[in-house]
Amino acid sequence: MNLGIYVKSLSDEQQIKLAVEVVETGIDNNKIDDASIFFDSVGFTPFFFSCGLFNSTEMWNFSGKMITFSLDCLKFIKDIVNDIEVYYCYGYEKDKNTLRLLDLTQSGVNIISKTKEDSKEYYRLTGKKCVGCLEDDSLLNIIG
């Protein structure tokens, strides 16, 4: 599997920690052939990366499974016409814009909730179920 993870900033420790764990586990278990982390802005991060780090402007050449944690990043991914299977992790953003969420997740996006409460909230807002919950399973298992 070719895995991409798109974050706004490399200094977001919560998202980067999850990204590093997914990549490390996937490589160790031979589930990931290649991994890339895309970002909009650089910043200090205490983590070691065993994959490539690329500015989001380089995403035009990516194909595979792409995970993101923000609606801004999701919009950018959806505007790319490559063969990308998109996963949006719901529950990581502090500011929730329901109309934008409804617009961007209407089609072609798999939703993964951070918590069971987030899963219930997403279903209440959209009438759609999440493909998985991070409280119940690992991100790598959910995306296959």
CATH number at residue 125: 3.40.50
Here the tokens at position 123 are 């279903």
pLDDT, tens digit, 9 for 90 and up, residues 49-99 = 989 999 999 998 899 999 999 999 999 998 887 889 999 999 998 888 899
Could you tell me the pTM of the whole model?
0.92
Q: Indicate the number of domains in the chain.
A: 1
Mean pLDDT of 16-44: 93
Instruction: Assign 144 a pLDDT band (cuts: 50, 70, 90).
Output: confident
pLDDT at 135 over 90: yes
Q: How high is the pLDDT of residue 82?
A: 82
Q: How high is the pLDDT of residue 80?
A: 84
Helix spans in 29-138 (H)? 71-78, 98-104, 116-126
Q: How high is the pLDDT of residue 17?
A: 92
Give the domain range for residue 44. Answer: 2-143
Strand partners, 68: 6, 88
How high is the mean pLDDT of the chain? 93
Rounded Cα distance, 142 and 92, in Å: 17
Q: How high is the pLDDT of residue 92?
A: 92
Share of the chain above pLDDT 70, in %: 100
